[in-house]
Amino acid sequence: MVFVKPRLEQFRNFFATAAAAFDYNNYTQLEKNKKLIASKVNYVSIPKFHLQTKMNFNEILQSLGIKAAFSSGAADFSAIARNAKFHISRIVHSAVIVVDEEGTEAAAACNVVCDGMSSNPHIFELNCPFIFYIKTKDDMILFIGRVLNL
């Protein structure tokens, strides 16, 4: 799990720019920066949060050209249904992410590796709105979200 906290000078425009336009280029830049600073952080403070979202995929899939499956007159599901009017009425994706004292509950694991404390500790405290993402070991993003209210 990766957390992205805005710099103080960028805080006001953070969600209007970086969070709203989060794409592959931003992600690769974040990954490069993370590699530069990850070894410097030895104290992390993360608030507990619970996010739940539901997204209707009908419009998305239809905009990608998958239209016949949603029409009772055009859908062909004869291999799985005998009724000629069988079609898809709705596709809804739900996701839940819980971060608490026990760790992260989602489709990906959370790993934190800490070395010995230095005499000048580098502290990462999430006490303002932030972006987070959960990825696989192969760098495939499974979840991405933002927390606006703590």
Domain assignments of the chain as residue spans, ordered by start: 1-48+100-149, 54-95
* Residue 130: burial class (beta carbons within 10 Å; 0-12, 13-18, 19+): buried
pTM: 0.48
Least confident of 4-18, 89-103, 133-147: 4-18
In tens, the pLDDT along 25-81 reads 666 666 666 655 555 555 667 778 787 777 788 888 889 998 888 787 788 878 877
